[in-house]
Amino acid sequence: MSDTDTNHECVCAQLSEEELYPRLELIIEEHRNKPHELIMALHKAQNLFGYLPRKVQQMVAEGLKVSLNEIYGVITFYSFFSTVPKGRHSVKVCLGTACYVRGGQQTLEKVGKELGAKVGDTTEDRRYSLDVVRCIGACGLAPAMLVDDDVYGRVKSTKIMEILDQYK
């Protein structure tokens, strides 16, 4: 494996989108004409670009022999995939059953208000993206939220700004 595809880390901040396409070609090559590997390929492509713009979907469609209509269906089904650019930090508020009954919805509203963003949106400065997740397995800490890979439990409305401020 070449260094570009051993680790599909998001490099979108360093390189322009145009410069990423040759790397996408390498990913597509690994899965060429294998429609059943669609989700894997999309996963890698999203790690590369930070999101899945239409052009990326079209290239994956052509390479894997999957209809763009199916790809878009898969992307819009799984909340992990995004068709809009993501912020540097992902904020995910859990609305699984336990979190929901312990005030997850209020947490979400507060986070949304603080960031000025709706679910699925990215802030204008591309610092944060806001999403909802359904259970992250931290029910004992409900209500919980994730910022990047960090889990925050028993989130209180008053603490939210403090948490978010740590992520520049």
Q: Does 68 bind other proteins (CB under 8 A)?
A: yes
How big is the CA angle at 68 (ends 76 and 60), to the nearest 5 degrees?
95
120 is a contact residue toward other proteins (CB under 8 A): no
32 binds other proteins (CB under 8 A): no
What is Dmax (Cα atoms) for the chain? 51
Which of 25, 55, 73, 109 contacts other proteins by CB under 8 A? 73
- Residue 72 touches other proteins, criterion: CB under 8 A: yes
67 binds other proteins (CB under 8 A): yes
33 binds other proteins (CB under 8 A): no
Shortest Å distance, C-beta 69 to other proteins = 4
d(CA 127, CA 110): 17
Q: Which helix (H) or strand (E) holds 71?
A: helix 68-77
Contact call for residue 100 and other proteins (CB under 8 A) = no
Q: How far apart are CA 36 and CA 53, in angstroms?
A: 21
CA-based nearest residue to 37, from 55, 3, 53, 60: 60
Q: How far is the CB of 33 from other proteins (least distance, A)?
A: 12
Residue whose C-alpha is closest to residue 58's, from 48, 47, 66, 49: 66
Helix (H) or strand (E) segment spanning residue 60: helix 54-64
Binding segment toward other proteins, per CB under 8 A, in 20-28, 56-64, 92-100, 116-124: 56-64
Q: Which is nearer to other proteins, 48 or 61 (CB)?
A: 61
Binding flag, residue 76, other proteins (CB under 8 A): yes
- Which amino acid is present at 59? M
Task: Find where tokens 């680790």 sit.
Answer: 7
Give the interface size with other proteins as a residue count (CB under 8 A): 15
Min CB(5)–other proteins separation in Å:
26
Q: Which residues bind other proteins (CB under 8 A)?
A: 54, 57, 61-62, 66-73, 76-77, 79
